[in-house]
Structure 1
Amino acid sequence: MNQSNENMVGTTTVGLVCQDGVVLATETRATMGALIANKAVNKLYQLDDKVGATIAGTVSHAQTLMDVLQAEIALYKLKNEKDMSMEAIAVLTSNILKSNAYGVQLILTGVDKKGPKLYGLDPSGSYIDDDYTSTGSGSPFAYGVLENKYRKDLTTDEGRLVALEAISAAKQRDVYSGNGFRLATITDEGMKTYTNEEIEELVAQL
């Protein structure tokens, strides 16, 4: 990790709960002030078979936090021979954020025995159980789409298009958000991360 990564910010991420799972989407631009520092930053992570997260904020902090969460979730599963619940993962993440200086916003999503869940977490460690949310500099533009298009009866297939439209709106208006897309869905069958070709086909439907 070079030193400049610590200051790379500028993001739009979205997450939404659907009737059969959850959807996560991000763009891929990282900025340092007015400079586009990287056009292909990964802001979407798989933490377990049915758990995913997006990151917004200081890149080095976010990458470290993702590594810690992946390790803690795997250790819990090894010790207890069962999956950690989404609520427990949210509480764990909240406690880590409260005890360390992580300049990170997260969308934490997954599917457990209680069904699809989504939590938004801020750098202070507060967390909110929600139906949909957005983080980062482009979130006001993404929320415009989410408020208009979100329904609780959306399927993940439909939710993919809503999420991509929200990211597209942010890319058009927020100079700190742009370049490519990342997209994933999580259902009872696990987490699917979409290829660039699959995303292009979906974006063409918008």
Structure 2
Amino acid sequence: MDADMAAVKTGTSTVGICFDGGVVVGADHRATMGHFVANKSVKKLFRIADNLALTTAGLVGHAQSLSRTLAAEMSLFELKRGQQMTVKGAATMTANILVGRPHWVQLLIAGVDDTGGSVYSIDSAGGSIPDEYCATGSGSPYMYGVLEDQFKSGMTEKEALKVAAKALLASAQRDAASGNGMDLAVITQKNRFPTIGRNRTRRIAQAVLIFPAHAPSSPHL
């Protein structure tokens, strides 16, 4: 790894799930520097527009810079066009930025538009792939096990929240670079980007807990 890449990395587990009427997005809180837990409350889930969310894995500085750039671009688009950018449009813009200047990140762009809910996974070189559910970061192998087992088309918001929480808990249990709690948000046509409060997030996580609460290795919620 180059010297300029040897910085704080989010390690990370992030997830995006489409359900009937919208999308659920989630991310953990841990940032690492090598084997050291550098921070336990890093923000990896960003609102870039009322209908769009960004989740980030990779270098913290690159992730934060991109979140600011994308939020500004979405606002500028709305001012010029008088309408919100589509999810596909936001994913394409993000991919084009990364093609022009690669960042040490893996992203999810998730949101709703006239076509419904969508989730796009975007790699550091600008590759953009849509899917009904996506996971990114070092915890993604553990998350995909949960997602592939429990995702179903036409899920309700409540079902999607539970699957997202369970996936994040699975990664926190097995991935040393993920954990220290989670953020969850729901985006629908009716309710644009209400974040899930800490107390409700805790209740959702406790409801799907996949290991004994007293286990010594249990991640803190």
The letter of the residue matching 2:196 is Y
CA, structure 1 residues 4+124, in 2 after alignment: closer, same or farther (shift >3 Å)? closer
Count matched residues.
204
CA-CA distance at 1:201 after TM superposition: 1.1
User: What residue is the counterpart of 2:130 in the other structure?
Assistant: 129
CA, structure 1 residues 180+106, in 2 after alignment: closer, same or farther (shift >3 Å)? same
**1:50 paired to 2:51:** yes
User: What residue is the counterpart of 1:202 in the other structure?
Assistant: 204
The letter of the residue matching 1:178 is G
Between the aligned partners of 1:8 and 1:51, the Cα distance in structure 2 is 24
Between the aligned partners of 1:14 and 1:65, the Cα distance in structure 2 is 18
TM-score (norm 1): 0.96
SS of aligned partner of 1:102:
coil
Tell whether the 8 Å contact from 1:11 to 1:30 is kept in structure 2 after alignment.
yes
Between the aligned partners of 1:4 and 1:131, the Cα distance in structure 2 is 32
Where does the alignment leave 5 or more consecutive residues of structure 2 unmatched? Answer: 209-221
User: What residue is the counterpart of 2:9 in the other structure?
Assistant: 8
Between the aligned partners of 2:122 and 2:39, the Cα distance in structure 1 is 25
SS of aligned partner of 1:204:
helix
Tell whether the 8 Å contact from 1:16 to 1:22 is kept in structure 2 after alignment.
yes
The Cα offsets for residues 158-195 of structure 1, whole Å up to 9 and x where unpaired, read as: 10000000000000001111111110010012111111
Between the aligned partners of 1:107 and 1:165, the Cα distance in structure 2 is 18
User: What residue is the counterpart of 1:72 in the other structure?
Assistant: 73
SS of aligned partner of 2:41:
coil
CA-CA distance at 1:153 after TM superposition: 1.4
The percent identity for this pair of structures is 40
Tell whether the 8 Å contact from 1:6 to 1:61 is kept in structure 2 after alignment.
no
Between the aligned partners of 1:82 and 1:73, the Cα distance in structure 2 is 10
User: What residue is the counterpart of 1:35 in the other structure?
Assistant: 36
Between the aligned partners of 1:157 and 1:46, the Cα distance in structure 2 is 21
CA-CA distance at 1:16 after TM superposition: 0.7
Between the aligned partners of 1:9 and 1:27, the Cα distance in structure 2 is 9
SS of aligned partner of 1:14:
strand
Query: Which 4+ residue blocks in structure 1 deviate beyond 4 angstroms?
Result: none
CA-CA distance at 1:4 after TM superposition: 10
SS of aligned partner of 2:207:
coil
Which range moved further: 196-205 or 38-47?
A: 196-205
Tell whether the 8 Å contact from 2:7 to 2:33 is kept in structure 1 after alignment.
no
Query: Which protein has greater RCO, CA pairs closer than 8 Å, 6+ apart?
Result: 1
Between the aligned partners of 1:204 and 1:184, the Cα distance in structure 2 is 17
Where does the alignment leave 5 or more consecutive residues of structure 1 unmatched? Answer: none
User: What residue is the counterpart of 1:89 in the other structure?
Assistant: 90
Tell whether the 8 Å contact from 1:5 to 1:60 is kept in structure 2 after alignment.
no
The Cα offsets for residues 13-41 of structure 1, whole Å up to 9 and x where unpaired, read as: 11111111001111100000110000000
**1:104 paired to 2:99:** no
CA-CA distance at 1:5 after TM superposition: 9.4
Between the aligned partners of 1:19 and 1:67, the Cα distance in structure 2 is 30
The letter of the residue matching 2:49 is D
User: What residue is the counterpart of 2:217 in the other structure?
Assistant: none
SS of aligned partner of 1:24:
strand
